[in-house]
Amino acid sequence: MKKLSFLLLCFMGWVSAQKLTSNELAIINQGDINTALPIYQTTDPNQHQTLLNLSNEIDPMDPNTITLVKRMKASLLSTDGGVGIAAPQVGVNRKIIWVQRFDKKDNPIEYFINPVIVWRSDIQNLGPEGDLSIPEFRDQFYKSKVIQLEYVDLKGQKYSEIIEGFTAVIFQHEVDHLFGILISDKKEKEKNDAYLKVDAYQKVKE
């Protein structure tokens, strides 16, 4: 009985957490639902703060969710070569991302609701990254080569995938956005990290 009450409490908390705020609804439903939403930029202080905020889960069955998903796709397609976008980048701190799947035939772009990376490989690749929200910024970053992702679709159906290579890099980048993590901040933090260089093949002195 206690277990049932606990699960009911968790469920009620989950449901209440999904409710979109009046501000979020205003952003999602402003203008034509078939048009792109403006992409937030770090150069604007208010937009920058939104990009730094944590995102909450969203109810996949809420009619407003499909509107947001649709408009996010339009926003991504409006860019010059963008390969991914997260909801905070259009002003809504909710867990939705779009990613171009270079690991699939014809490189489709696909949406993911409430995505969670449940496992990352220790093996990492170093490669270039940019960001639609950070003008003229590009640098080299380490990302796990392989990840396991769990997410739901607009019907609430749950999925789990193993994703590799450059597509895995895009997923990690977009999920970082849901935690308010920007690559420019990560690079700044790395500058302050101190590393001790060790020669792993140094011969032991006799």
For 142-171, what is each residue's pLDDT tens digit? 999 999 999 999 999 999 999 999 999 999
Q: What proportion of the chain, given as a percentage, has pLDDT over 90?
A: 79
Active-site pick, 57, 110, 150, 174: 174
The pLDDT of residue 200 is 45
- Dump strand ranges (E) for the chain: 84-86, 96-100, 109-120, 124-130, 138-144, 146-152, 158-164
The pLDDT of residue 66 is 97
Structural class in CATH, domain 31-197: alpha beta
Q: Give me the mean pLDDT over the 119-140 stretch.
A: 96
Q: What pTM did the predictor assign?
A: 0.85
The pLDDT of residue 201 is 45
The amino acid at 53? N
76: nearest Cα among 55, 99, 53: 99
113: nearest Cα among 152, 147, 162: 152
Chain centroid offset of residue 48 CA: 16
| Range with lowest mean pLDDT among 29-33, 40-44, 49-53 | 29-33
Write the DSSP symbol of residue 139.
E
Q: How far apart, in whole angstroms, are the C-alpha atoms of residue 34 and residue 161?
A: 29
Residue appearing with tokens 């009450």: 5
160: nearest Cα among 196, 97, 116: 116
Name the pLDDT band for 18 (thresholds 50, 70, 90). confident
Q: Which contiguous run of DSSP H or E holds residue 10? A: helix 2-18
Q: Is the pLDDT of residue 198 over 60?
A: no
Q: Give me the mean pLDDT over the 84-100 stretch.
A: 98
The pLDDT of residue 187 is 76
Q: Give me the mean pLDDT over the 96-100 stretch.
A: 98
Q: What is the SS3 assignment for 89? A: helix
Cα-flanking dihedrals φ and ψ of residue 139, to 5°?
Answer: -155, 180
Q: Is the pLDDT of residue 12 over 70?
A: no
- Identify whether 174 is a catalytic site residue: yes
Residue appearing with tokens 């992409």: 39
